[in-house]
C-alpha cells in the first residue's frame, strides 16, 4: 500500500518537474516579449523605458499603466492608464500623459529632488502640485496605481489631470459596478468625445467586447452645436442608434468648397424679390448683432407669419407649426447657424431665398430620407395650452388681491398669515407652483374631479389604472389616467413625469399634466378620439365577447392605413429608445396601447410608465411565465431586458396588423395544437408554402391586390419575423425596423422564429 503511494508520488513529482522545465524553456523563448507587471515604481527602478515592457498594475488588477505603442506606429508610444481587462482593440485607455511623441528612447524617471519626469517634462501638469506640501524625502515617494484607476505620485495624480475620460471615483474593489436592479454589470467611463458630446460608456465583454453609449448629455447628436457650418443642416445617420451625423445644404444653397460640413451659401444672393423654401422639422440658431428668435405674440396664421418675414430685410426665415397653435418665430439676424433636423422640433422652417429659387422643391419636405411624417398635416387641431399667458394673468390677479387686502387695513398678523396660506393654496390650484420651463402642469385633485365630472366617464382600464374622459375649463378634452401601485415619493414621480412630458413626437400621446396629491397619482393626457387599435383589428373577438357598451362600429383599416400605422408606431418607439437609451423602455407595446387619432394617425400611450411601477409588480409581471402574447422570451428566461424586448412586442403587433388575429387566440379557420406558435405558423405560410393570402386579415382579403400590396405586406411580415427572433441580439434596433418598413434598407431573409415557451404550461 505504502509502496504504491511512494511510486505514485515520485511519478507525480516527476510530472511536476517536467511541467516546470517545459515552462522554463517556454519562458526563455518568450522572454523578449514577456510583460512584467509591478505594483509601484520608485527611484531605485528608475529609469523606466518603453522597451522594458513593464506595466504598473493596480492591486485589484483592473487598471494598468505604462508605455503603450501607438496602434499605427509601434515605435511610438503614449504613457497611459488603461483598463487592464479590456482588450487593446476595444479602446481601453482612460488617461494619457501630456508629453506625446514618445519613442523607444524616451523614459520615465524619478529625479533626486523627487520630481517625476517623462521625457524630461513633468509627468503631471495639474496646478496643485507646486503649491502642495510635497516633502523632499526622495526615498519615500513612489508611483502607484490605485484600484479606481488613479495614477499617484505624492500629491500629484492623474485624476486631477483628467484627459477625455472620467472614471467613477469610488472605492470599487470588485471588478465591476453593479446597478441597483442587478441586471446591468458594467465597467463604466465618462468621455468627452471628439464630437463634442459627453457620454457614459459601458463595456460588454459578452457582446464582442463592445463599448456602448448608455447615456449622453445631449440626446440628439445633431443638437451639439458646431457640427455643420452656417446654413447647413445636421441629420442623424440612417440607423438611429448610431451616433454619426451628416450635414446637408437646403435646396437653393450650395456647399462651400463642395463640403456641406463647412457650410452653405445661397445660390443667388437675396434681392428685392424673395421667396421661401420649406424645411420640415428643421431648426436653426441666428447669429449677428441684435439677432432675435422670438415667437410672435398671439396666434398667427401662416400668411401673416410669412408676410412679417418677407417685409423685414433682416429676416432670414421663420419657423411655423402646423398644429393650429399659431406658433410663428421670425429669425432675425445676419446668418443662420447650427441647423439640425429633429422630429422633436415639431416645426417647419421656411428659409428665405431668391424668388426664382423658391420654385424648386425642397429636399427636406416630409423628411423622406430620414423620417417621413406618417400623419397628414392638419390645420385645425385643438389649441394647445397657453400656459405663459395664463400664468402672467394669474400673477396679476393674485398681486391685485394681495394689495387690495393690505390696503383695506388688515392689522392682525395672524389673519395675514391665514390669508397667506389661502393664497398659497390658490397658487397651487392655478398651477403657479414653480415648474421647470416647459414642464407638465400640476393639477389639483379637485380640478380633475371637476374636469371628469367626478370620474364618471370611464373610457378604459389598463394595466396602470382606469382612464376617464374629462374637459378642462379651457375646453380642452383630456384623458385622465388614475394610476395604481405607483412606487416612489412625490419628487421621484415629478421627475419621471417631467421626462415623459418632454417626449415630443407625432406618434406619441402628449402628456399635459399630472396630479400628485393625497397619495393620488394621476396623469392628464391629450384625448385621442379614435380609441385603441385592438378595437379596429380584432372585430370578431369583440362581438363574440358581447361588448355590452355598444360602441359604434369601427371602420375597417385598409392596407395603406395599416402600413402607415406600423410605420408611425415604429418611428415613435425608435424615438423613445433613441431619446432615452436604455433607461426608459416602453415594456408594454400592444394594440391596446396604440391609439388612433384623426385620419388614423397612430399615437402610443403609456410610454415611460414601466418605470413608475412598483418593483414587486415588475417581478410578478416577469413571473407570468409562458403567457403567450407580446412579452419577449427574455422576460421568461430572466435575461437582461433591453430595448430589444420592445422590438419583439412590436413584431407581434406588426403580425397582428397583417392578420387581424390575436397572436394567442386562434380563429376557427386555423388548426391549432399546443405547439402552435403564431409567428412560426405565419413564417411557414409566407415563405415555405408561399400562401400569403392565408395570413391576411379576412376582412380585407378581397381588397388585397398582389401587384399593389405584395411589396408592402411582404415587407411588414419580413420585418415582423426579424423582430420576433428569440435571441435579442438577432433582432434589429427599432431605428432599423423603421427603415426596413420604409423600404430604405434591404431586408435579408429572416430565420423562422422559434417557440420559446414550449413545454411551459
Ligand X SMILES: *[C@@H]1O[C@H](CO)[C@@H](O)[C@H](O)[C@H]1NC(C)=O
Pick out the residues of the known binding site for ATP.
481
Return the residue nearest ligand X (CB atom).
Answer: 135
How many degrees, rounded to 5, is the angle at CA 239 between CA 656 and CA 207? 90
| Nearest approach, Cβ of residue 44 and ligand X (Å) | 5
Binding-site size, ligand X (CB under 6 A)? 15
Residue 187 or 309 having the CB closest to ligand X: 309
What burial letters (b/e) apply to 445-481, b meaning 16+ CB within 10 Å? eebbbebbeebeeeebebbbbebbbbebeeebebbbb
What's the burial of 630, exposed, middle or buried (CB within 10 Å: 0-12/13-18/19+)? buried
Which lies closer to ligand X via its Cβ, residue 45 or residue 355?
45
Strand-pairing partners, residue 460, are 467
> For the window 132-161, what string marks contact with ligand X as x by the rule CB under 6 A?
---x-x-xx-x-------------------
State the catalytic residue, choosing from 161, 323, 534, 588.
588
Q: Does 214 bind ligand X (CB under 6 A)?
A: no
Give binding residues as ranges: 481
Q: Which is nearer to ligand X, 73 or 139 (CB)?
A: 139
C-alpha cell at 270: 437675396
Looking at the Cβ atoms of 329 and 653, the one nearer to ligand X is 329
Q: Which three cell numbers stand for residue 211?
A: 463599448
Out of 44, 101, 131, 294, which residue is the one contacting ligand X (CB under 6 A)?
44
Interaction residues for ligand X, span 21-40 (CB under 6 A): 38, 40
238 is catalytic: no
Handedness of CA 415, 419, 421, 422 (dihedral sign): positive
Contacts 24+ apart (CB under 8 A), 665-669: 665/538, 665/541, 667/540, 667/698, 669/698
Cα–Cα distance for residue pair 512/524, rounded to 1 Å: 6
335 to each of 63, 226, 289, 472, 654, how far by Cα in Å? 49, 14, 10, 42, 45
List the interface residues with ligand X, window 286-305 (CB under 6 A): 293
Task: Find the shortest distance in angstroms from Cβ 325 to ligand X.
Answer: 11
Per-residue binding string, ligand X, 326-355, x by CB under 6 A, is -------------------x-x--------
Nearer to ligand X, 345 or 532 (CB): 345
- Residue with smaller CB distance to ligand X, 284 or 527: 284
Ordered DSSP codes for 725-748? -SSGGGSPPHHHHHHHHHTSS--P
By CB under 6 A, the residues from 107 to 126 that bind ligand X are none
8 Å CB contact between 517 and 497: no
Residue 12 Cβ, how far from ligand X at the closest point, in Å? Answer: 35
Residues 321, 278: contact at Cβ < 8 Å?
no
In the complex, minimum distance from the CB of residue 137 to ligand X, in angstroms, rounded to a whole number: 4
Q: Are strands 441-442 and 511-515 parallel, antiparallel or unpaired?
A: parallel
**What is the grid cell recorded at 539?**
372585430
Measured from the CB atom, is 319 or 440 closer to ligand X?
319
According to the binding rule CB under 6 A, does residue 285 interact with ligand X?
yes
Binding ligand X by CB under 6 A: which of 156, 283, 358, 532? 283
* Closer by beta carbon to ligand X, 109 or else 520: 109
What are the start-end ranges of the E strands in 99-222?
Answer: 102-103, 108-110, 116-118, 121-122, 142-145, 151-153, 156-157, 165-166, 177-178, 185-186, 188-192, 198-204, 210-216
Most distant pair of Cα atoms in the chain: their distance? 115
In terms of DSSP H, where are the helices of 520-637? Answer: 533-537, 539-544, 559-580, 615-623, 634-637
Residue 146 beta carbon to ligand X: minimum distance, rounded to whole angstroms: 17
| Residue 507 in the binding site for ligand X (CB under 6 A) | no
CB of 649 to ligand X, least distance (A): 30
- Minimum CB separation of residue 322 from ligand X in Å reads 13
Give the three-state DSSP class for 595.
Answer: strand
Residues interacting with ligand X, by CB under 6 A?
38, 40, 42, 44-45, 135, 137, 139-140, 142, 283, 285, 293, 345, 347
Which are the catalytic amino acids? 588
Amino acid at each position: 500500500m505504502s509502496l504504491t503511494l511512494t511510486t505514485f508520488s515520485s511519478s507525480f513529482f516527476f510530472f511536476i518537474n517536467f511541467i516546470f522545465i517545459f515552462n522554463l524553456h517556454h519562458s526563455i523563448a518568450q522572454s523578449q516579449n514577456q510583460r512584467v507587471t509591478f505594483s509601484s515604481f520608485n527611484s531605485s527602478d528608475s529609469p523606466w523605458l518603453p522597451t522594458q515592457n513593464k506595466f504598473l498594475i493596480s492591486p485589484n488588477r483592473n487598471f494598468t499603466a505604462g508605455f503603450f505603442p501607438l496602434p499605427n506606429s509601434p515605435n511610438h508610444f503614449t504613457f497611459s492608464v488603461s483598463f487592464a481587462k479590456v482588450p487593446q482593440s476595444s479602446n481601453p485607455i482612460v488617461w494619457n500623459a501630456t508629453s506625446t511623441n514618445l519613442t523607444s528612447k524616451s523614459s520615465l524617471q524619478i529625479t533626486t529632488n523627487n520630481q517625476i519626469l517623462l521625457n524630461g517634462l513633468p509627468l503631471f501638469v495639474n496646478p496643485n502640485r507646486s503649491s502642495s506640501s510635497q516633502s523632499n524625502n526622495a526615498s519615500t515617494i513612489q508611483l502607484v496605481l490605485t484600484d479606481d484607476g488613479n495614477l499617484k505620485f505624492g500629491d500629484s495624480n492623474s485624476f486631477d489631470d483628467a484627459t477625455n475620460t472620467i472614471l467613477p471615483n469610488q472605492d470599487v474593489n470588485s471588478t465591476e459596478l453593479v446597478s441597483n436592479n442587478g441586471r446591468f454589470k458594467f465597467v463604466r467611463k465618462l468621455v468627452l468625445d471628439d464630437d463634442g458630446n459627453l457620454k457614459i460608456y459601458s463595456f460588454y465583454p459578452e457582446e464582442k467586447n463592445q463599448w456602448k453609449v448608455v447615456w449622453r448629455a445631449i440626446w440628439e447628436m445633431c443638437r451639439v452645436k458646431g457640427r455643420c457650418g452656417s446654413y447647413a443642416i445636421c441629420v442623424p445617420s440612417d440607423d438611429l442608434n448610431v451616433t454619426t451625423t451628416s450635414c446637408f445644404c437646403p435646396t437653393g444653397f450650395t456647399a462651400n468648397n463642395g463640403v456641406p460640413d463647412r457650410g452653405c451659401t445661397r445660390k443667388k444672393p437675396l434681392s428685392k424679390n424673395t421667396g421661401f423654401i420649406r424645411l420640415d422639422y428643421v431648426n436653426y440658431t441666428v447669429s449677428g448683432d441684435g439677432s432675435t428668435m422670438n415667437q410672435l405674440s398671439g396666434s398667427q396664421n401662416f400668411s401673416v407669419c410669412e408676410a412679417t418675414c418677407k417685409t423685414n430685410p433682416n429676416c432670414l426665415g421663420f419657423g411655423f407649426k402646423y398644429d393650429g397653435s399659431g406658433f410663428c418665430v421670425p429669425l432675425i439676424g445676419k446668418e443662420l447657424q447650427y441647423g439640425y433636423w429633429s422630429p422633436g422640433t415639431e416645426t417647419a422652417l421656411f428659409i428665405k431665398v431668391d424668388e426664382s429659387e423658391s420654385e424648386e422643391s425642397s429636399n427636406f419636405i416630409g423628411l423622406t430620407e430620414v423620417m417621413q411624417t406618417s400623419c397628414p398635416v392638419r390645420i385645425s387641431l385643438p389649441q394647445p395650452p397657453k400656459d405663459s399667458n395664463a400664468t402672467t394673468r394669474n400673477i396679476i390677479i393674485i398681486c391685485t388681491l394681495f394689495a387690495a387686502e393690505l390696503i383695506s387695513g388688515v392689522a392682525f398678523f395672524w389673519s395675514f398669515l391665514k390669508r397667506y396660506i389661502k393664497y398659497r393654496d390658490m397658487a397651487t390650484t392655478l398651477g403657479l407652483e414653480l415648474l421647470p420651463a416647459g414642464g407638465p402642469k400640476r393639477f389639483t385633485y379637485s380640478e380633475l374631479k371637476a374636469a371628469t365630472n367626478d370620474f364618471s366617464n370611464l373610457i378604459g382600464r389598463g394595466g396602470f389604472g382606469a382612464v376617464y374622459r374629462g374637459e378642462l375649463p379651457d375646453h380642452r378634452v383630456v384623458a385622465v389616467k388614475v394610476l395604481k401601485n405607483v412606487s416612489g415619493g412625490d419628487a421621484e414621480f415629478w421627475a419621471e413625469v417631467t421626462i415623459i412630458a418632454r417626449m415630443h413626437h407625432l406618434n406619441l400621446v402628449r402628456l399635459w399634466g399630472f396630479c400628485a396629491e393625497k397619495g393620488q397619482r394621476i396623469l392628464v393626457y391629450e384625448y385621442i378620439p379614435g380609441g385603441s387599435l385592438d378595437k379596429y383589428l380584432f372585430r370578431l373577438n369583440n362581438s363574440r365577447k358581447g361588448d355590452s357598451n355598444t360602441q359604434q362600429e369601427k371602420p375597417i383599416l385598409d392596407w395603406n392605413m395599416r402600413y402607415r400605422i406600423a410605420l408611425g408606431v415604429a418611428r415613435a418607439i425608435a424615438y423613445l429608445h433613441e431619446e432615452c437609451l436604455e433607461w426608459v423602455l416602453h415594456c408594454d407595446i400592444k394594440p391596446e396601447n396604440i391609439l388612433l387619432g384623426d385620419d388614423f394617425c397612430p399615437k402610443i400611450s403609456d410610454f415611460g410608465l414601466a418605470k413608475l411601477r412598483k418593483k414587486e409588480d415588475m417581478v410578478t409581471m416577469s413571473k407570468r411565465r409562458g403567457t403567450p402574447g407580446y412579452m419577449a422570451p427574455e422576460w421568461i428566461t430572466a435575461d437582461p431586458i433591453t430595448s430589444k424586448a420592445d422590438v419583439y412586442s412590436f413584431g407581434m403587433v406588426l403580425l397582428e396588423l397583417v392578420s387581424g388575429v390575436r397572436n394567442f387566440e386562434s380563429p376557427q379557420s386555423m388548426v391549432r395544437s399546443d405547439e402552435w406558435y403564431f409567428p412560426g405558423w405565419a413564417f411557414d405560410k409566407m415563405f415555405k408554402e408561399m400562401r400569403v393570402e392565408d395570413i391576411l386579415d379576412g376582412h380585407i382579403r378581397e381588397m388585397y391586390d398582389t401587384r399593389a400590396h405584395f411589396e408592402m405586406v411582404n415587407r411588414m411580415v419580413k420585418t415582423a419575423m426579424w423582430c420576433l427572433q428569440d435571441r435579442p441580439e438577432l433582432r434589429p434596433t427599432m431605428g432599423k425596423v423603421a427603415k426596413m418598413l420604409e423600404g430604405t434598407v434591404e431586408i435579408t431573409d429572416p430565420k423562422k422564429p422559434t417557440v420559446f415557451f414550449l413545454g411551459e404550461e
